[in-house]
């Protein structure tokens, strides 16, 4: 079964995805191949649609996965069958699951400031400050190079965007000062020259993707907060707080690098007071007819 997984990783890599994404995509294909080896005792070419549906049921039950995650598993299986096995995929045999949409958690502006201002580790503080101040994804901050920070133009060049298009993000003056504090915390000969945030043991590589989430959760515990914050929370907070402060959606869309405005309109619902600013027509009628 290892050859199937190697071919799958190779085919996913040909799409130009990062190593971390390739590893993530391969997780459930590995589970599928293990299932075939230990339970079905079959090669993937000979698995029936019913057996494939049984695997989906088994995986959801055994790992308690969300419906959104199960849809991702189905997408990975579809890719595996088409590009590795060269077998046509029939969407009517394994339909995607419906799932409830939940609004992401967004801390208030005050709580965001409290979180950022109390971080003691300057490297972590600089990283998270960039997440929030420019609305960046964690992967975008990890891939930043020192030359991408353009203080003279107060902007940050983002070359590794999720939608594979480059853009400029805003550079906050506070964020710039935090970056300087982080940069000068190194001895002169060890200051970052290429990657802005590097691994501790190997400065030729960008920061490990697990480093910041671990520190975010640890800082929540220090503050006595419930664990609700992730790296992406700060991107949501950036956009939501911009909207609360009067920035229009088209500007927010451009700053976030969204391709569609539909992806940006969620921040109308997340903004504090968005619903409370509307007046019920019943209250208007009562005011007009019973004044």
Answer whether residue 227 shows pLDDT above 90. Answer: yes
Q: Give tens-digit pLDDT for 172-208.
A: 999 999 999 999 999 998 999 999 999 988 888 999 9
pLDDT band at residue 21, thresholds of 50, 70 and 90? confident
Given a contact cutoff of 8 angstroms between Cβ atoms, the answer to whether 228 and 217 are in contact is no
State the average pLDDT for the chain.
90
Answer whether residue 231 shows pLDDT above 70. Answer: yes
Given a contact cutoff of 8 angstroms between Cβ atoms, the answer to whether 129 and 117 are in contact is no
Q: Give tens-digit pLDDT for 139-178.
A: 999 999 999 999 999 999 998 666 667 899 999 999 999 9
Please write down the HEC assignment for all residues of the chain: CHHHHHHHHHHHHCCCCCHHHHHHHHHHHHHHHHHHHHHHCCCHHHCCHHHHHHHHHHHHHHHCCCHHHHHHHHHHHHHHHHHCCCCCCCCCCCCCCCCCCCCCCCCCHHHHHHHHHCCCCHHHHHHHHHHHHHCCCHHHHHCCEHHHEEHHHCEEEECCCCCCCCEEEECCHHHHHHHHHHHHCCCHHHCCCCECCECCCCCCCECCCCHHHHHHHHHHHHHCCCCCCCHHHHHHHHHHHHHHCCCCHHHHHHHHCCCCHHHCCHHHHHCCCCCCCCCCHHHHHHHHHCC
- pLDDT, position 23: 80
Answer whether residue 11 shows pLDDT above 80. Answer: yes
The token pair that represents 243 in the structure block: 């909207």
Q: Rounded to an integer, what distance in angstroms lies between the CA atom of residue 15 and that of residue 187?
A: 40
| Gyration radius (Cα) of the chain, Å | 23
Given a contact cutoff of 8 angstroms between Cβ atoms, the answer to whether 77 and 31 are in contact is no
- pLDDT, position 155: 96
The token pair that represents 270 in the structure block: 């997340």
- Tell the burial category of 144 from Cβ atoms under 10 Å away from its Cβ (0-12, 13-18, 19+): buried
Q: Rounded to an integer, what distance in angstroms lies between the CA atom of residue 237 and that of residue 240?
A: 5
More confident residue, 2 or 258: 258
pTM (two decimals)? 0.75
Domains of the chain (ranges, CATH numbers): 2-83 (1.10.150.130), 109-270 (1.10.443.10)
- pLDDT, position 76: 93
Answer whether residue 275 shows pLDDT above 60. Answer: no
Given a contact cutoff of 8 angstroms between Cβ atoms, the answer to whether 211 and 83 are in contact is no
Q: Which of 54, 53, 57 is nearest to 65 (CA)?
A: 57
Q: Rounded to an integer, what distance in angstroms lies between the CA atom of residue 204 and that of residue 235?
A: 27
């Amino acid at each position: 079964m290892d050859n199937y997984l190697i071919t799958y990783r190779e085919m996913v890599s040909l799409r130009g995805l990062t190593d971390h994404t390739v590893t993530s995509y391969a997780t459930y294909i590995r589970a599928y191949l293990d299932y075939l080896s230990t339970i079905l005792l079959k090669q993937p070419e000979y698995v029936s649609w019913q057996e494939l549906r049984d695997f989906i049921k088994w995986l959801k039950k055994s790992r308690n996965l969300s419906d959104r995650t199960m849809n991702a598993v189905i997408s990975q299986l579809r890719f595996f069958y088409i590009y590795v096995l060269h077998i046509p995929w029939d969407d009517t045999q394994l339909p995607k699951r419906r799932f409830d949409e939940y609004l992401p958690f967004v801390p208030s502006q005050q709580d965001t400031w409290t979180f950022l201002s109390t971080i003691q580790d300057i490297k972590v503080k600089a990283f998270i400050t960039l997440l929030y101040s420019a609305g960046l994804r964690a992967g975008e901050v990890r891939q930043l190079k020192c030359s991408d920070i353009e203080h003279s133009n107060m902007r940050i060049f983002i070359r590794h965007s999720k939608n594979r298009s480059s853009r400029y993000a805003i550079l906050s003056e506070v964020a710039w000062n935090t970056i300087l504090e982080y940069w000068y915390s190194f001895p002169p000969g060890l200051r970052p020259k290429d990657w802005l945030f590097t691994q501790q043991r190997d400065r030729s590589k960008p920061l490990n993707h697990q480093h910041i989430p671990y520190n975010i959760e640890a800082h929540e515990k220090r503050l006595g907060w419930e664990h609700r914050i992730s790296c992406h929370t700060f991107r949501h907070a950036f956009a939501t707080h911009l909207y609360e402060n009067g920035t229009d959606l088209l500007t927010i869309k451009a700053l976030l690098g969204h391709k569609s405005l539909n992806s940006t309109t969620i921040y109308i619902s997340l903004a504090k007071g968005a619903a409370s600013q509307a007046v019920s027509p019943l209250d208007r009628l009562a005011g007009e007819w019973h004044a």
